[in-house]
Structure 1
């Protein structure tokens, strides 16, 4: 690790280091994300004083996050995005899209080519949060 890749340097530059997915039904959201993406869960509810589940998204580069109890209603499907949209890198867009739909998610925007770069699309999870999936593919057109 060089002097520019220390943990302090990452925090000081404003690099994203954590995300939270708000859910009216945190257990349902945990089931969705563990089923579709294979993320590992740690129950941090006692520490947080509310339903709060740590998400371990994988090894190597990337960030981890959490599912937290939503303080209000789920957003309406088709409404404006209320917050950041997380996009997950995947090896097979079509395979993960099938898993999303089978786990109770719905398509928000269809699969589209980012020419010469990737396939991208957006879905709603079981809590109506929008998220994306991104499959690198230099042949995408």
Structure 2
């Protein structure tokens, strides 16, 4: 089963950012206290789905804002790409790639999360679009 991890410098700030952006909840992973590991809990992640995720304390310094993509880029489906993008910018995120339409794919955007990561969101195109 695919599993992704988000490495952050400020766990509390990152948890608040992703909880607001995607509605995620977090639970400390048993045995993961030493590395500050939290499992991501969401109906869209885990719970019988084909994807699980976690967040952990970054080891070392975060990449500088605006630097090239670092690590993997995660993209998650959202109901309204523009609304989530605006929320991210108003809550500690920064523009990485503004919302744009991709025919047959959907409307996509990418933001920096304030922790040195870039995260994407997509509102899939409706059938026939």
Same fold, TM-score > 0.5, yes or no? yes
Structure 2: gaps (5+ residues): none
**TM-score, scaled relative to structure 1:** 0.79
| Largest Rg, 1 or 2 | 1
Bigger RCO of structures 1 and 2 (CA < 8 A, at least 6 apart): 2
* 1:119 aligns to 2:119 (yes or no): no
The normalised TM-score by structure 2 is 0.86
Tell me the distance in 1 between the aligned counterparts of 2:38 and 2:10.
Answer: 12
Say which SS state the counterpart of residue 78 (structure 1) adopts.
Answer: coil
Please list the CA deviations of residues 53-95 of structure 1 after superposition, one character each: whole Å capped at 9, or x if unmatched: 1101324645221110101111112212221100010111111
Give the total of aligned pairs.
124
Distance change in 2, residues 1:35/1:62 (3 Å): farther
Runs of 4+ displaced beyond 4 Å: none
Is 1:34 equivalent to 2:19 in the alignment?
A: yes
Instruction: Provide the secondary structure at the position in 2 that maps to 1:81.
Output: coil
Contact 1:57 1:63 in 2 (8 A): no
The separation in 2 between residues aligned to 1:50 and 1:61, in whole angstroms, is 26
CA RMSD, aligned part only? 1.8
Q: Name stretches of at least 5 consecutive residues in structure 1 with no aligned partner.
A: 1-10, 12-16
